[in-house]
Amino acid sequence: MEAKWDGRRSADPSTLSEPLGPGRTRAVHLDFDLTVDFVGRRLLGHVDVHCTRNVEGPNDGEDWELVLDASSNLQVTAIEIAGAALSADRWCRDEARKHDILGCAVRIKLPQGPPGERLVVRLFYETAAPTEDGEGGCSALQWLTPAQTAGKKLPYVFSQCQAIHARAMFPCQDTCECKVTYDAVVRCPAELNALMSALKVAGPEPAEQADWETPEGCGKDWVKHCFQQPVPIPCYLVALVCAALESRRVGPRSQVWSEKEMVDECAWEFEDTEKFVAAGENICGPYKWGVYDLLVLPPSFPYGGMENPCLTFVTPTLLAKDRSQVHVVAHEVSHSWSGNLVTNETWEHFWLNEGLCVFIELRIIRDVYGEEEAVLQLANRLKSLSESINHFGNDHNFTRLVPDLSGGLDPDDAFSTVPYIKGMALFCLLENHVGGEKRFAPFLKAYFTKFGGATVTSEKLRDFYLEYFGSQAADDPEIREALSGPIAGLDWQKLFTSPGMPEHMPPCSAKPLEEAKELATKWAAARDDTSALAAFAPEDIRGWGTTKLMVLLDSLLEDNKDGGGSLTAAGCERMASCYGLLSTNCELRFRFLRLALGAKWEGGVEPAKELATSQGRMKFTRPIYRALKSYDATVARDVFTKHKASYHPICSKMVARDLFD
Closest among 374, 394, 380 to 304, alpha carbons compared: 380
Q: Tell me the C-alpha to C-alpha distance, in Å, between residue 399 and each of 391, 430, 577.
A: 10, 20, 38
What number of CA atoms fall less than 13 Å from residue 299's CA on the CB side?
Answer: 17
**Cα–Cα dist 362/353, whole Å:** 15
Give catalytic status of residue 332 as yes or no: yes
Burial class (CB in 10 A: 0-12, 13-18, 19+), 211: exposed
Q: Tell me the C-alpha to C-alpha distance, in Å, between residue 581 and each of 42, 386, 389, 435, 595.
A: 41, 24, 27, 43, 11
Task: Walk across the sheet containing 199-207 and list its strands.
Answer: 84-85, 75-81, 118-126, 42-53, 25-37, 180-189, 222-233, 199-207
Choosing from 420, 465, 625, 647, the catalytic residue is 420
Q: Tell me the C-alpha to C-alpha distance, in Å, between residue 244 and each of 261, 505, 547.
A: 10, 46, 34
**Cα–Cα dist 439/432, whole Å:** 9
Residue 332 Cα to chain centre, angstroms: 9
- Tallying the residues shown for the chain, one arrives at 661
Q: Tell me the C-alpha to C-alpha distance, in Å, between residue 570 and each of 390, 472, 577.
A: 27, 60, 11
Give catalytic status of residue 126 as yes or no: no
- The strand pairing partners of 47, in sequence order, are 32, 123
Choosing from 126, 177, 332, 387, the catalytic residue is 332
Evaluate whether 76 touches 123 at the Cβ level (below 8 Å). yes
Instruction: Report the amino acid identity of residue 584.
Output: T
- Residues designated as active site: 332, 420
